Amino acid sequence: MSIEVTEPGPAGLGAVVTGFDPDAPAPEAGDALRAAFRASPMLCIRGCAATPESFLRVARVFGTPQRELMGVLRDGAVAEISVIERKQGISTATGKSATFGGHWHTDDSYMAVPCAITLLYGEVVPPKGGDTSFTNMHAAYEALPAGTRARIADLSAVHTYQSRRNLSPVPERSAEEEARTPPVTHPLVRTHPETGRKALYINPNRIDRVADMPLAEGDALLDELIAHATQPAFVHVHAWEPGDIVIWDNRCTMHRASPHEGDHPRRLLRILIEGTVPV
């Protein structure tokens, strides 16, 4: 069966792929998936019955899967797969539970070489709620006033695992994991290594401050950019169905998870694809 791909939504995200079999992909399916992803840097492969092995095979269409850094998230059987569940034990200063990834962010930005792409497989999803929202950071950058684009062109931000601006709980790191993730500096405007398009590269959960700028001034700038980038015009909301594989490009999107009501289980498998140093 050949695959079919819908057009992305108004935000330039959210194309849906059907007819793809992760266990027996057609020879031309990889090229078709990569082309769809270039046109829609967040897309969904719908109706998959993936195993960890076939999920890993899908991930390799988009690059080299990387080993999950956080041991608390890692699937014991497949080192490249992490497991995200609703009731995951996450230590926080307050002890309160919260939705994992419930505030706007982009994956891995606290790393010197962040991942390029994330794949998330909906192994178990609730019947209602638990949507994931995505925002198009290419479109957000291109819609900025020319003066703002000039102002931020050469600015960088300091990203840390536990930022002073962090709104979401994060898993505790081991001493080894902490040693491997010191603060890093990345540009506020990132050039996509494959397309050459520029995008805002901000992460409300990981940016601690704008480099070489007074805190109050930097915070005001970050708040302005975040408010701009998360306007409804740039946002696509994905309603999960069982068997969805959702793929997004961290180099030009942000995302956040929504909570769901009731006591329904939710289990997602995640793979990160190796990236390059942001420039």
Average pLDDT in the 266-272 region? 93
The token pair at 83 is 């497991």
Average pLDDT in the 248-264 region? 88
**Residue 72 pLDDT greater than 60, yes or no:** no
Average pLDDT in the 239-246 region? 96
> What pLDDT, on the 0 to 100 scale, is given for residue 263?
76
Average pLDDT in the 114-124 region? 96
Work out the burial of residue 51: count CB atoms within 10 Å of its CB; fewer than 13 is exposed, 13-18 middle, 19 or more buried.
Answer: middle
Residue type, 80: E
Is the pTM higher than 0.85? The answer reads yes
**Residue 169 pLDDT greater than 60, yes or no:** yes
Residue type, 277: V
The token pair at 174 is 């081991």
Average pLDDT in the 202-208 region? 95
Closest CA to 229 of 266, 209, 203: 203
Contact between residue 142 and residue 78 where contact means Cβ atoms under 8 Å apart: no
Average pLDDT in the 220-242 region? 97
**Strands 235-238 and 132-136, bridge-based pairing:** antiparallel
DSSP H helices, 180-279, are 215-229
User: What are the chain's domains?
Assistant: 4-273 (3.60.130.10)
Q: How many CA atoms lie within 13 A of 74 on its CB side?
A: 13
**Residue 98 pLDDT greater than 60, yes or no:** no
